[in-house]
Amino acid sequence: MSILLGGGFYADANNKKNELPEIGVVASSAISLDKEMLIGDALMRQLRSQAPVINDPLLDEYIQDLGNRLVAQADDVKFPFTFFLLNSPDINAFAFFGGHVGVHSGLIFNAKNESELASVLAHEVSHVTQRHIARSIEERQKSAPLQIASMLGGILLAMANPEAGMAAISAGSAASQQASINYTRQNEKEADRIGIRILAQAGFDPNGASGFFSTLTEKSRLKSAPMAFLMTHPMPESRVADARSRAATYNVGTIPESLSFHLAKSRILARYYAKPDYNIEYFSAALAKDSYVFKQAAEYGLALSYLANKQYSQAQSLIANLLESDPDNLFYLDVFTDIAIETKQFESAINRLSSQTAHNPRNQVLVLNLANVLIKDKQYAKAVSLLKDFLLLKPNNMLAYDLLSDAYLGGQQPLEMHQVKAEVFALVAAYPRAIDELQSAYNYAGEKQLEKQRIRARIEQFRDAQEKLRTL
């Protein structure tokens, strides 16, 4: 699967987009790289439990692919990057320990083109590669002892919800903790400089940065309160001019529009923002007035809206036409699968997805859709086999675990179902509940001594993880 500038989102067995770029070397800091990754993992688990993280394979695949194209052009990459989405209309993005970059859905929806979106991701990648959070902690450590545990709650809130986060910080040790969230102007200038270079080298329009800053400036004038991005990224007026002058140093031709970007925008509106009747009217009007960048994106949004409104024949007609001209497009295949499930055309979906998955067994959109159809068709054993193989490659995929739990439940395998539920709770740092699930699994193990031993060992691992979380 690949993203082509101006093209669709495709399944491609030869694409290696999710392979990691070569890892660079950087100087040590107050926080070791190992501890930075440990803190990043802990924060991510808490975010899953406390923030509206979107578990959408299509949008996950899109944003991870886009991010990886940028990371591939960055220097000093120390760990694999994880890009994820939050369901929030705020125009915001944030980076934190261990290569995690969060993007609010409002950022994608309000970006005018893919280069604007990519400019924000490149900026956040630069914050990570330059270890700006770790460096600010190192500076503060000279005058005060490092208190990671006391910072976690404020950082977590501020990243997912800047207004709530800033309020929490103000109630605590404001001066010291705010520095852990608000990058200094020097940090911002450095991230801008490096980000624009990454943006241009990755094949995007370097003017995307100044374009995005201009969009922020326009929208902020219409709001009484500061915008989310501006609260976490100080932005003086000169920043737009600086970004524009930096972009002018790169000789870049015309960058074609990205179909995948506009499909993602349509998906966010249809799936996460407005009600189906409004969306049907919105996309129908766009098609009637030729008010779109890509007709396919408007038709795709309309198909999603019809699907949500249970108008399956209308949705199916649109998707059939889209797939006829672009049979490997994952956005279309996903809607095709949902329609097939609702209309109980399981065999048709299984056949189509199986042929695609055979060529691209690592793609989460294909695998998870196929597993879902297999479960609906009560082919539980096949779904279990498919999901277990996938989780070996993607061990932190929440949706895969949820589907695997459903497959075990349908197949009347309570021992395995409780074990899988334990992993789901662990992914949101709910270790006591994870241990409870494993104890339930233990009761179903009967005379399976090896299985009991594995469960006991996993319980100890969860207890160790809980203790590490306490001692951060």
Report pLDDT digits (tens) over 253-278: 889 999 999 999 999 999 999 899 99
Same domain membership, residue 397 and residue 283:
yes
Residue 403 clears pLDDT 70, i.e. is over it? yes
On whether residue 373 sits in a domain, the answer given is yes
Look at residue 155 and tell me whether its pLDDT is greater than 60. Answer: no
Domain-located, residue 399: yes
Residue type, 117: L
Distance CA 329, CA 112 (A): 22
User: Can you give the CATH number for the domain in which 264 is found?
Assistant: 1.25.40.10
For 101-110, what is the mean pLDDT?
A: 93
pTM of the full structure: 0.84
Task: Say whether both 298 and 232 belong to one domain.
Answer: no
Q: How confident is the model at residue 136 (pLDDT cuts 50, 70, 90)?
A: low
9: pLDDT strictly greater than 90: no
Residue type, 258: S
- Dihedral of CA atoms 172, 40, 213, 109 in degrees, nearest 10, equals -110
DSSP character at residue 99: G
Contacts of 413 (CB under 8 A, 6+ apart): none
| Cα 471–chain centre separation | 28
**166-186 b/e with 16+ CB inside 10 Å = b?**
bebbeeeeeebbbbbbbbeee
Residue after which a domain boundary falls, among 247, 272, 306: 247
Residue pair 114/134 in contact by the 8 Å Cβ criterion = no
138 is in an annotated binding site: no
Q: Report, as an integer, the average pLDDT of 434-448.
A: 95
Comparing 202 with 23, which gets the higher pLDDT? Answer: 202
- pLDDT at residue 96 tops 70: yes
Residue 240 parent element (H or E)? helix 238-247
Top mean-pLDDT range of 131-140, 188-197, 288-297: 288-297
Q: Which DSSP category does 75 fall into?
A: S
Asked if 228 and 354 sit in the same domain, the reply is no
- Active site residue: 61, 192, 205, 416, which one? 192
Q: How confident is the model at residue 243 (pLDDT cuts 50, 70, 90)?
A: confident
From 247, 276, 296, give the residue that closes a domain: 247
CA distance 230 to 242: 17
| Sign for the pseudo-dihedral over CA of 344, 350, 351, 353 | positive
* 371 occurs within a structural domain: yes
Does residue 252 form part of some domain? no
Pairing status of strand 82-86 against strand 2-3: unpaired
If asked whether residues 384 and 264 sit together in one domain, one would say yes
pLDDT at 86 over 70: yes
Residue 300 shares a structural domain with residue 429:
yes
Reading the block at residue 139, the tokens are 């500076």
Q: Annotated catalytic, 192?
A: yes
Q: How far is CA 404 from the centre of its chain?
A: 21
Residue 24: pLDDT over 70: no
The answer, yes or no, to whether residue 158 has pLDDT greater than 50, is yes
Strand partners, 83: 101
Provide the residue type at 17 as one letter.
Answer: K
> Structurally, how many domains does the chain consist of?
2
Q: How far is CA 387 from CA 17, 109, 174, 359, 397, in A?
A: 21, 31, 45, 16, 10
User: Which is more confident, 38 or 113?
Assistant: 113
pLDDT at 348: 94
Query: In 3-state terms, what secondary structure has residue 53?
Result: strand
State pLDDT tens for residues 35-58.
Answer: 888 888 888 888 888 888 999 999
60 annotated active-site: no
From 219, 247, 275, the end of a domain falls on 247
If asked whether residues 243 and 275 sit together in one domain, one would say: no
Q: In what order do the strands lie in the sheet with 100-104?
A: 82-86, 100-104, 93-96
Provide the pLDDT for residue 92.
86
Comparing 2-16, 168-182, 294-308, 312-326, the range with the smallest average pLDDT is 2-16
The pLDDT assigned to 145 comes to 47
381 within some domain: yes
Segment 270-292 shows an average pLDDT of 95
Q: Is residue 253 part of a domain?
A: no
Q: What is the pLDDT of residue 2?
A: 29
More confident residue, 348 or 156: 348
Average the pLDDT over 333-342 and give the result. 97
467 carries a ligand binding annotation = no
CA 105, CA 87: separation in Å to the nearest integer? 5
Q: Provide the mean pLDDT of the chain.
A: 82
Answer for the pair 304, 296: CB distance below 8 angstroms, yes or no: no
**Which residue segment(s) compose the domain that 443 sits in?**
259-471
Q: What is the DSSP letter of 5?
A: T
Contacts of 468 (CB under 8 A, 6+ apart): 38, 42
452-462: average pLDDT: 96
Alpha-carbon distance of 386 to 388, in angstroms, equals 6
266 and 222 in a common domain: no
Distance (Å, whole) CA 400 – CA 342: 20
**How many percent of the chain have pLDDT more than 90?**
56
Is 60 exceeded by the pLDDT of residue 231? no
Instruction: Please indicate, yes or no, whether residues 173 and 318 belong to a single structural domain of this protein.
Output: no
Which pair of tokens denotes residue 90? Answer: 């705020």
Inside any domain, residue 281: yes
Does 359 belong to an annotated binding site? no
The confidence band for 72, taking pLDDT boundaries of 50, 70 and 90, is very high
Same domain, 311 and 227: no
103 in the same domain as 155: yes
| Torsional class of 131: left (φ above 0), alpha (ψ -120 to 50), beta (otherwise) | left
**Which has the higher per-residue pLDDT, 51 or 4?**
51
* Segment among 157-171, 259-273, 331-345, 426-440 with least mean pLDDT: 157-171
Q: What is the mean pLDDT of residues 395-423?
A: 96
For residues 3 and 344, which has the higher predicted lDDT (pLDDT)?
344
State whether 399 and 356 are in the same domain. Answer: yes
**For the stretch 303-332, what's the b/e string if a residue is b when 16 or more beta carbons lie within 10 angstroms of its beta carbon?**
bbbbbbeeebeebbebbeebbeebebbbbb
Residue 25 pLDDT: 34
Tell which wins on pLDDT, 79 or 351. 351
Which residues, 6+ apart, have CB-to-CB distance to 307 below 8 Å? Answer: 315, 335, 338, 339, 342
**Residue 181 in this model has a pLDDT that exceeds 70:** no
Q: Is residue 254 part of a domain?
A: no
b/e sequence 43-57, b meaning 16+ C-beta within 10 Å: bbbbbbeebebbbbb
Indicate if 242 and 275 belong to the same structural domain.
Answer: no
Mean pLDDT of 16-22: 38
Tokens of 198: 């990454």
* DSSP conformational letter for 23: P
Which pLDDT band holds residue 432 (cuts at 50, 70, 90)? very high
At residue 326, φ and ψ (nearest 5 deg) are: -150, 70
Query: For the CA atoms of the chain, what is the radius of gyration?
Result: 23
